[in-house]
C-alpha cells in the first residue's frame, strides 16, 4: 500500500474545544511534507491527533492502512515520532532511551543502518557518540533533538514525523538529518512530515508543503511549485507570506 | 522592592490555571460529589463521636499523650510539605536570572508557607473545638486552641528548619542528573520494555544513589519485620508476623511504585498498550514487596505451622491490595503522595463503613478501583 497516512475530515482539540478542523491529508511513500504555520496555527495539535496523543473530535486517521482509533497499538507501529526534546525521559542515558524504544518496537538498538540510509555510524555522524552514556538531563536542546531523531528512525517505520525537531540542530547535524530524510524517501519505503518554522529550508528538503492557518489547511504546494519557488532565493517565503496576508484579509 | 508575596502569587496562579484547565463538568462533579461526601462524613463522625463520648471523655492517655503527639506530628508533616512547596517556587529555574539573593528567596518561601499554614491551624482549632463540644468535653474552645498551638509548633519548627536548609531541596533536584552510586538496577531493569523502572524511579542511567532516606526506610522496615517475626516466635502464634508482613509489604509497594512514565508521549505514541506498560511498572515494586513479605511470613509459619492458612491469606491479601494501589498509583501518576493518601483514605473509609453496612461496601471499593483503571486507560490512549 502506497498511502502511509490518510487523515479524512480530521477535527481535534483540547477538552472539547476544536483546535484543528476539516483536515484532509494523504501521504504516500516517497513524500516529504513540509508543515508550515504560525505559532498557534494547529501544527502541533495536528501531529498530536495523527499520533494518537489527543482524541479525534471528528474524522479518521489511518496509518499504513490501519485505523488509529480502532487499533491504536497496531497503527503506532507505522510511524516514528521524534519526541519534543523536553519530553524525553531525562534520567535515562541516550543509549538507554534508544534501548527502551527499540525494545518496544521489537528491534535491535543498533537497527539504524540499512540500505536506505547513508553509510557510516549515524550516532557519530550526528555528534551523539560522546554523549550517549550520559543522562539526557545533561543534554543541550540540540543533543536531545538528535537522540529523539535517532529513536524515531528505529525499526524503520514507514512514516517519520519531526515536529520542529530540526530547529534545534547544529548545521552539521541538520545537514546529516536532511541527508537521511532524503535518502529514506528516495528509497520509496518511507514518507516524512517535517513541521518547521524555517520556511526557506522547505523547498530544498520537501516535495510537498502545506500551510496551516487558524486550525485548517490554508494552502498547499506540490513538488513542481516547490521546485519553481526554490529556484529564486526568497520566492517561497514570499509565496507563504502572500498566503498568510490573503488569509488575514479574508 | 519587596517580593514577599511572589511565592503566594505563583501558587495562586497555578491553582487558577489548574482549575481553568479542568472541564466544567468535572469541576461540578468534584464540587457536588466532594461536598456531599464531606457533609456525609461530618454527619457520620458526629454520630460516631456521640456514641463513643462516654469512653472518649475518660480516656486520659488519649487527651494527655495521644492527641498532642498526633497534632504535633501533623504540624511537622504539613510544615515539611508546605515549606518544600514554597521553596521549590522561590528557587524555580525561571527566577534564577532575577537579582534575588538566597535570603530573600527564603523569606518569600517563609511568607508563603506561613500564609498557607494559618488556615490549616484555624481548621484544626475549629475541628477539635467542635469535636469536643459534640462529646460534651468541658472547655471545648481551650482544647481547640491547645490543638492549634501544638500543630503550629510542629509546623513552625519544621518550616524554619527547612527554610534554613534550602540546599537539601536543590541538591535533591541536582542529584537527579548525576550518575553516582552503583548501577545495581542494570540487570533487573533489562526486561522489555527496557529501563522503565530506572525512568520511573528517576535513577540517572540506572545508578542507585545511596541516601540517608533509603537507609532509614530500609532500617525501619527491617526492624518491623524482625519485631513481627520475634513476636510470633515468642508467642508461638502466626498472627503478629503475618500482619507485619502484610503491612510492611503494602508499605514497600506504595513507597516504590512510580508511574509517571504512563503520562509520557514516549510511551503513548509507541506501539505498546496501557496494560503492558502498567504491568511492567508494577513488576519491580511487586517483587520488592513480596521479598519483604517472605521473612515475616516464614517466621509466622515457623511459629505456628498448623496455622499455615494465616500467612497464605496474608500473601493473597497483599496481592489484592498491591493491585488496588497500583491502580491508584497509575491514576495519580505525578503525585504518589496523593495516591498513597487517597488509597489509605479509601481503605480506611471502606473499613469503617464495613463495620456498619457489612462487606457489601467492599463492592463499592472494587467499583472505584475499576472506575480509576478505566479512566487511567482512557487517558493513556486519548490524552
Mind listing the pLDDT tens digit for each residue in A103-131?
Answer: 998 888 877 655 555 556 778 778 888 88
Question: Taking CB atoms and an 8 Å cutoff, what residues of chain A touch B261?
Answer: 89
User: Which helix (H) or strand (E) covers residue A167, if one does?
Assistant: none
Distance from A226 to chain B by nearest Cα, in Å? 31
Which alpha helices (DSSP H) does chain A contain, by range? 43-50, 72-76, 94-105, 122-125, 141-153, 171-186, 202-205, 223-231, 235-249
**Mean pLDDT of the A179-187 span:** 85
Tally the domains of chain A: 1
| Cβ–Cβ < 8 Å for B252, B288 | yes
Cβ of A54 within 8 Å of Cβ of B205? The answer is no
Of A42-56, A147-161, A192-206, B353-367, minimum mean pLDDT range = B353-367
Which cell numbers in the block locate residue A154? 528505529
CA distance A145 to chain B (A): 13
**Which range among B5-14, B92-101, B174-183, B263-272 has the greatest average pLDDT?**
B263-272
Tell me whether A69 touches chain B (CB under 8 Å).
Answer: no
Residues of chain B neighbouring A19 (CB-CB closer than 8 A): none
Tell me if residue B181 falls in helix, strand or coil. coil
Residues in chain B: 383
- What's the confidence (pLDDT) of residue A155? 86
Q: Is A156 on the interface with B (CB under 8 A)?
A: no
Scanning every residue of chain A, which has its alpha carbon at the shortest distance from the alpha carbon of B21? A15
Average pLDDT for chain B: 87
Q: What is the pLDDT of residue B279?
A: 95
Give A54-76 pLDDT, tens digit per residue: 989 999 999 999 999 999 999 99
ipTM, 2 dp = 0.87
Overall average pLDDT of the A242-246 stretch: 85
Query: Is A237 within a domain?
Result: yes
Above 90 in pLDDT, residue B59?
no
In a domain, A168, yes or no: yes
In a domain, A62, yes or no: no
* pLDDT of A31 over the 80 cut: yes
Domain chopping of chain B, boundaries: 6-175, 211-382
Cβ of B193 within 8 Å of Cβ of A100? The answer is yes
Q: Out of A62-66, A90-94, B176-180, which region has the weakest mean confidence (pLDDT)?
A: B176-180
* Predicted confidence (pLDDT) per residue in A198-236, tens digit: 888 888 889 899 999 989 998 999 989 888 888 888 888
Contact: B205, A91; criterion CB under 8 Å: yes
Instruction: Point out the residue among B196, B205, B265 whose CB comes nearest to the CB of A83.
Output: B265
Block residue for cell numbers 519485620 = B225
Q: Which residue has the higher pLDDT, B41 or B260?
A: B260
Identify the domain containing residue A33 by its residue range. Answer: 29-44+73-249
**Distance to chain B for A57, nearest Cα, Å:** 11
pLDDT of A194 reads: 92
Report the b/e string of A221-232 with b at 16+ CB within 10 A: beeeebeebbee
In a domain, A178, yes or no: yes
Cβ proximity of B291 and B322 under 8 Å: no
Confidence band of B37 (pLDDT split at 50, 70, 90): confident
Distance CA A159, CA A32 (A): 10
CA distance A90 to A105: 20
8 A C-beta contact, residue B204 and residue A137: yes
Q: Return the residue in B188, B189, B194 with the most chain A beta carbons within 10 A, the one to mutate for interface testing.
A: B194
Cell numbers found for residue A186: 528516495
φ, ψ of residue A107 to 5 degrees: the values are: -130, 170
pLDDT digits (tens, 9 = 90+) for B277-309: 999 999 999 999 999 999 899 999 998 888 889
A220 touches A210 (CB < 8 A): yes
Amino acid at each position: 500500500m502506497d498511502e502511509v497516512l490518510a487523515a479524512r475530515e480530521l477535527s481535534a482539540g483540547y477538552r472539547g474545544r476544536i483546535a484543528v478542523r476539516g483536515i484532509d491529508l494523504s501521504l504516500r511513500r516517497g513524500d516529504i511534507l513540509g508543515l508550515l504555520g504560525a505559532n498557534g496555527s494547529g501544527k502541533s495539535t495536528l501531529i498530536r491527533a495523527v499520533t494518537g496523543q489527543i482524541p479525534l473530535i471528528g474524522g479518521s486517521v489511518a496509518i499504513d492502512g490501519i485505523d488509529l482509533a480502532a487499533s491504536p497499538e497496531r497503527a503506532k507501529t507505522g510511524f516514528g515520532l521524534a519526541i519534543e526534546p523536553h519530553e524525553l525521559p531525562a534520567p535515562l542515558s541516550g543509549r538507554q532511551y534508544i534501548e527502551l524504544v527499540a525494545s518496544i518496537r521489537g528491534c535491535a538498538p543498533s537497527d539504524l543502518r540499512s540500505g536506505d540510509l547513508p553509510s557510516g555510524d549515524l550516532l557519530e555522524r550526528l555528534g551523539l557518540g560522546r554523549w550517549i552514556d550520559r543522562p539526557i538531563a545533561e543534554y543541550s536542546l540540540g543533543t536531545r533533538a538528535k537522540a529523539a531523531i535517532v529513536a524515531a528512525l528505529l525499526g524503520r517505520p514507514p512514516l517519520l514525523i519531526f515536529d520542529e525537531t530540526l530547529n534545534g540542530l547544529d548545521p552539521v547535524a541538520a545537514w546529516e538529518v536532511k541527508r537521511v530524510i532524503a535518502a529514506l524517501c528516495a528509497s520509496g519505503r518511507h514518507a516524512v512530515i517535517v513541521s518547521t518554522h524555517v520556511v526557506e529550508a522547505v523547498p530544498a528538503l520537501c516535495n510537498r508543503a502545506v500551510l496551516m492557518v487558524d486550525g485548517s489547511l490554508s494552502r498547499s504546494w506540490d513538488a513542481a511549485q516547490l521546485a519553481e519557488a526554490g529556484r529564486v532565493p526568497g520566492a517561497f517565503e514570499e509565496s507563504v507570506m502572500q498566503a498568510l496576508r490573503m488569509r488575514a484579509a479574508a | 522592592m519587596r517580593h514577599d508575596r511572589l511565592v503566594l502569587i505563583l501558587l495562586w496562579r497555578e491553582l487558577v490555571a489548574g482549575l481553568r484547565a479542568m472541564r466544567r463538568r468535572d469541576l461540578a462533579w468534584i464540587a457536588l460529589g466532594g461536598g456531599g461526601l464531606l457533609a456525609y462524613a461530618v454527619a457520620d463522625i458526629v454520630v460516631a463521636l456521640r456514641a463513643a463520648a462516654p469512653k472518649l471523655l475518660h480516656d486520659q492517655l488519649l487527651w494527655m499523650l495521644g492527641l498532642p503527639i498526633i497534632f504535633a506530628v501533623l504540624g511537622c508533616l504539613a510544615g515539611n510539605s508546605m515549606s518544600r512547596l514554597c521553596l521549590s517556587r522561590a528557587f524555580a529555574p525561571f527566577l534564577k536570572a532575577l537579582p534575588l539573593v538566597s535570603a530573600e528567596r527564603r523569606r518569600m518561601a517563609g511568607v508563603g508557607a506561613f500564609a498557607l499554614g494559618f488556615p490549616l491551624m484555624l481548621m484544626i482549632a475549629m475541628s477539635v473545638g467542635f469535636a469536643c463540644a459534640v462529646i460534651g468535653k468541658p472547655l471545648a474552645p481551650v482544647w481547640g486552641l491547645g490543638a492549634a498551638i501544638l500543630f503550629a509548633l510542629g509546623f513552625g519548627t519544621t518550616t524554619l528548619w527547612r527554610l534554613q536548609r534550602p540546599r537539601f531541596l536543590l541538591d535533591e533536584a541536582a542529584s537527579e542528573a548525576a550518575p553516582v552510586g552503583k548501577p545495581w538496577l542494570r540487570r533487573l531493569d533489562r526486561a522489555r520494555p527496557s529501563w522503565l523502572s530506572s525512568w520511573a524511579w528517576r535513577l540517572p542511567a540506572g545508578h542507585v544513589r545511596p541516601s540517608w532516606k533509603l537507609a532509614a526506610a530500609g532500617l525501619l522496615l527491617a526492624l518491623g519485620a524482625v519485631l513481627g517475626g520475634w513476636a510470633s516466635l515468642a508467642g508461638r502464634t502466626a498472627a503478629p508476623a503475618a500482619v507485619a508482613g502484610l503491612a510492611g509489604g503494602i508499605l514497600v509497594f506504595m513507597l516504590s511504585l512510580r508511574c509517571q512514565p504512563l503520562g509520557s508521549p514516549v510511551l503513548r505514541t509507541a506501539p505498546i498498550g496501557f496494560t503492558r506498560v502498567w504491568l511492567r511498572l508494577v513488576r519491580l515494586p511487586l517483587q520488592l514487596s513480596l521479598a519483604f513479605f517472605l521473612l515475616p511470613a516464614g517466621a509466622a509459619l515457623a511459629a505456628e505451622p498448623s496455622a499455615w492458612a494465616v500467612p497464605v491469606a496474608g500473601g493473597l491479601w497483599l496481592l489484592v491490595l498491591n493491585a488496588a494501589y497500583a491502580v491508584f498509583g497509575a491514576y495519580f501518576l505525578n503525585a504518589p503522595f496523593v495516591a498513597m493518601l487517597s488509597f489509605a483514605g479509601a481503605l480506611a473509609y471502606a473499613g469503617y463503613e464495613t463495620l456498619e453496612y457489612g462487606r457489601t461496601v467492599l463492592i463499592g471499593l472494587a467499583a472505584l478501583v475499576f472506575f480509576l483503571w478505566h479512566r487511567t486507560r482512557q487517558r493513556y490512549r486519548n490524552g
